[in-house]
């Protein structure tokens, strides 16, 4: 990659990210498959960096996954979103941070559509009042949670215990960054760095000592495809897209993958398992896969969180080879224990994937 | 049925997504679905742009419009700022409104999608919910998910979630008052009516096939013609 050229592109796509005071909205998929990532985000921002990140139990899904599975009308999704924004205002906030990339893209689309068609915005405001008796509002600033970690990346680096560096060779780890499609493919100006070469994860990798891997299918979708995953007979679509990405990145020998979308790390992790178990093919070293992380997990690792507190035991691709490379300590005996050391047994071992 | 193109143009996504397509094919070149399925978004945009109702009706009855994964990669690269993905979404909505979705294998899958995703939203407040994400239907979720499912409450507690409990947090029990508001939103924005129509059409089809609802769902979940694929 010609780095100077990318810097020029990135300079054109800078978004304003307020320093503090956010209304936080969770992600359906991240809560289900990476709950510790959301807990880590809140712990880092609130407790380590002293930020005001407010959450209420009254928020719900934005409806984005159903909307992109064509299972609810656009007006329904927009009114649910208006309800989320109204809760933000009700609790005294004007900056909105969401954990989900599907949500982020849909919020961007909704705000743009309201701007273009004011009569639709009026209708949604009326829907909101009729159904919820809430006052219509729009965020002053809309950001994704990865935008905030990007914003705080140097503060996190200053508090770090580890770097994304191979402790044996002293070389930076080779990191693939994967951006969720709905982060900036529709509205490049809404994402840090735009759509072709987003900077949001690159900035974190650079700040924490790693080296970016560029590869041909870097911007290709993970393959979620909504209905293409939920219906069993469509799932080949999802698998084929992940397969295409791994075949493309394999020659560049990445040490790890970092993602900002809640769905992508699930698919990039689990489809590696399926490829290994069905075809005997693995993409990491010595029969291992390439470990896939959320940005919260990587931030937590460099800050010295216990890997099992970050939920890394719930990945199907084992993370231990990477922890060993960095020199992060972990206790194998505690990997699958519950709270207070409760014995929960262990998952079966995959047949092929180590 | 009314003029289909006129009905499409009432959809804000079409008005946002279709400017002037120059038929360059960039959307098809970049499309993840076009590589996997016999799918050509350039052709679909061209049909809509030509406002030919007979061809639009064929699209609404076809499997073709259901191949898109709605990643919207097409939008970034279009030199004329079209959004083929948004046009597809408008076509799908019209296919459901007209009942023509029942004419295709992929369209009929709407029965399952509406049932599963909306029961998660209306019952729990989430699109995806671990209680309804079963390992036996998701073997790809891995042996680690099998273990997680067996120890659901304990694993979520270990990872700092608030599964089905009061107050904020991951997977909290969302108060009934909030779920009631979502239901009222469904009622006045057309979602409830849409779900009832999709359900009625699916159950009628099941009856025609002499199947129980469960058997019909299984058929929808697993049925896959080889005609869909590129390879």
Write out pLDDT tens, residues A10-64: 676 778 999 999 999 999 999 999 999 999 999 999 999 999 999 999 999 999 9
Q: Which of A187-196, A305-314, B185-194 has the lowest mean pLDDT?
A: A187-196
How large is the ipTM? 0.98
Identify the CA nearest to A123 among candidates A89, A159, A169, A76.
A76
CA angle A19, A20, A22 (to 5 degrees): 125
Q: Which domains does chain A have, with CATH numbers?
A: 20-145 (1.20.1050.140), 146-341 (3.40.50.11810)
* Whether residue B217 is found in the same domain as residue B120: yes
Structure tokens at A320: 């231990």
Indicate whether B129 and B68 sit together in one domain: no
Listed residues B60, B76, B106: the one ending a domain: B106
Which of B103, B129, B98, B105 has its CA nearest to residue B116? B129
**pLDDT at position B1 over 60:** no
CB pairs under 8 A between A and B: 255
For the stretch B162-183, pLDDT in tens is 999 999 999 999 999 999 999 9
- C-alpha to C-alpha distance for A214 and A205, rounded to whole angstroms: 13
B57 & B83 share domain: yes
- Residue entry with tokens 């273009």: A116
Give percent above pLDDT 70 in chain A: 97
DSSP letters along A284-303, please?
SSTT----EEEHHHHHHHHT
Of the three residues B74, B90, B106, the one that is the final residue of a domain is B106
Best mutation site among B26, B81, B189 for testing chain A: the one with the most A CBs within 10 Å? Answer: B189
- Asked if A351 is an interface residue toward chain B (Cβ–Cβ < 8 A), one would say no
Residues of A in contact with B137 (CB under 8 A): 232
Name the residue in chain A with its Cα closest to that of B16: A113
Task: Note the pTM of the prediction, 2 decimals.
Answer: 0.97
Question: Are B221 and B112 in contact, with CB atoms under 8 Å apart?
Answer: yes
Give strand pairing partners of A86. none
Largest CA distance in chain A: 63
Could you tell me if B136 and B218 lie in one domain?
yes
Task: Print the domain residue range for B83.
Answer: 4-106
Rounded to the nearest angstrom, the gap between the alpha carbon of residue A240 and the centroid of all alpha carbons in its chain is 21
Kindly determine whether residue A58 and residue B116, on different chains, have CB atoms separated by under 8 Å.
no
Domain count, chain B: 2
pLDDT at residue A236, rounded to an integer: 97
Test B150 with A345 for CB contact under 8 angstroms.
yes
- Is A26 part of the contact surface with chain B (CB cutoff 8 Å)? yes
Task: Say yes or no: B96 and B145 in one domain.
Answer: no
B114 plus B193 within the same structural domain: yes
Provide the total of helices (H) and of strands (E) in chain B, helices listed first.
15, 0
Task: Give CA–CA dist B173/A58, Å, rounded.
Answer: 10
Burial class of residue A158, CB neighbours in 10 A (0-12, 13-18, 19+): exposed
The helix/strand/coil state of B68 is coil
To the nearest whole Å, the CA of A337 is away from the closest chain B CA by 8
Q: Are residues B222 and B112 in the same domain?
A: yes
- Is the Cβ pair B184, A132 closer than 8 Å? yes
Start-to-end CA distance of chain A, whole Å, equals 32
> Of B91, B106, B121, which residue is a domain's last?
B106
Report whether B162 contacts B130 (CB < 8 A): no
- pLDDT tens digits, one per residue of A308-347: 999 999 999 999 999 999 999 999 999 999 999 999 999 9
The residues facing A96 across adjacent strands are: A23, A142
Does residue A64 contact residue A134 with C-beta atoms inside 8 Å? no
| Same domain for B224 and B112 | yes
Instruction: Please indicate whether, in this complex, the C-beta atoms of A181 and B72 are within 8 angstroms of each other.
Output: yes
Using pLDDT thresholds of 50, 70 and 90, give the confidence band for residue A1. Answer: low
């Amino acid at each position: 990659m010609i780095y100077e050229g990318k810097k020029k592109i990135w300079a054109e796509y800078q978004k304003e990210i307020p320093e503090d005071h956010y209304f936080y909205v969770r992600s359906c998929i991240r809560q289900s498959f990476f709950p510790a990532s959301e807990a880590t985000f809140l712990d880092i921002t609130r407790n380590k960096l002293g930020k005001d990140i407010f959450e209420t139990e009254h928020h719900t899904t934005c409806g984005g996954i159903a909307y992109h599975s064509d299972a609810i009308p656009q007006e329904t999704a927009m009114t649910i979103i208006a309800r989320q924004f109204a809760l933000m205002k009700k609790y005294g906030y004007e900056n909105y941070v969401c954990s989900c990339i599907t949500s982020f893209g849909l919020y961007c689309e909704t705000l743009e559509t309201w701007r273009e068609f004011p009569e639709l915005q009026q209708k949604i405001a009326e829907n909101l009042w009729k159904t919820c008796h809430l006052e219509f509002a729009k965020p002053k600033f809309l950001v994704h949670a990865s935008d905030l970690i990007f914003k705080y990346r140097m503060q996190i680096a200053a508090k770090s215990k580890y770097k994304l560096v191979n402790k044996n060779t002293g070389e930076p780890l080779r990191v693939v960054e994967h951006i969720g499609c709905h982060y900036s493919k529709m509205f490049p100006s809404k994402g840090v760095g735009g759509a072709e070469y987003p900077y949001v994860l690159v900035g974190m990798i650079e700040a924490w000592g790693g080296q970016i891997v560029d590869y041909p299918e870097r911007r290709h979708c993970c393959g979620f495809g909504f209905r293409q995953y939920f219906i069993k007979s469509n799932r080949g679509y999802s698998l084929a897209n992940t397969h295409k990405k791994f075949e493309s990145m394999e020659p560049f020998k990445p040490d790890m993958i970092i993602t900002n979308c809640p769905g992508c790390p699930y698919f990039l992790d689990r489809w590696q398992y399926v490829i290994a178990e069905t075809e005997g093919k693995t993409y990491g070293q010595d029969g291992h896969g390439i470990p896939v992380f959320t940005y919260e997990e990587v931030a937590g690792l460099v800050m010295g969180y216990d890997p099992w507190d970050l939920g890394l035991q719930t990945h199907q691709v084992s993370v231990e080879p990477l922890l060993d490379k960095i020199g992060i300590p972990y206790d194998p005996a505690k990997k699958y224990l519950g709270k207070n050391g409760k014995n929960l047994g262990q998952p079966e071992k995959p047949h092929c994937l180590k | 049925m009314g003029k289909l193109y006129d009905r499409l143009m009432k959809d804000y996504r079409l008005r946002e997504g279709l400017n002037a397509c120059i038929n360059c094919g960039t959307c098809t070149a970049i499309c993840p679905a076009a590589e996997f399925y016999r799918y050509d978004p350039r052709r679909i945009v061209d049909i809509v742009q030509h406002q030919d109702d007979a061809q639009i009706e064929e699209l609404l009855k076809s499997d073709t419009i259901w191949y898109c994964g709605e990643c919207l990669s097409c939008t970034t690269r279009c030199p004329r700022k079209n959004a083929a993905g948004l046009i597809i979404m408008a076509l799908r909505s019209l296919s459901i409104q007209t009942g023509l979705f029942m004419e295709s294998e992929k369209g009929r899958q709407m029965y399952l999608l509406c049932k599963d995703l909306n029961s998660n939203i209306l019952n729990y407040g989430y699109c995806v919910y671990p209680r309804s994400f079963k390992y036996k239907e998701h073997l790809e979720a891995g042996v680690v998910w099998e273990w997680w499912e067996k120890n659901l409450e304990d694993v979520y507690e270990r990872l700092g979630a608030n599964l089905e409990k009061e107050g904020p947090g991951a997977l909290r029990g969302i108060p009934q008052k909030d779920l009631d508001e979502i239901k009222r939103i469904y009622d006045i924005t057309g979602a409830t009516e849409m779900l009832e129509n999709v359900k009625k059409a699916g159950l009628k089809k099941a009856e025609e096939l002499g199947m129980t609802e469960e058997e019909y769902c299984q058929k929808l979940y697993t049925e896959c013609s080889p005609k869909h694929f590129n390879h």
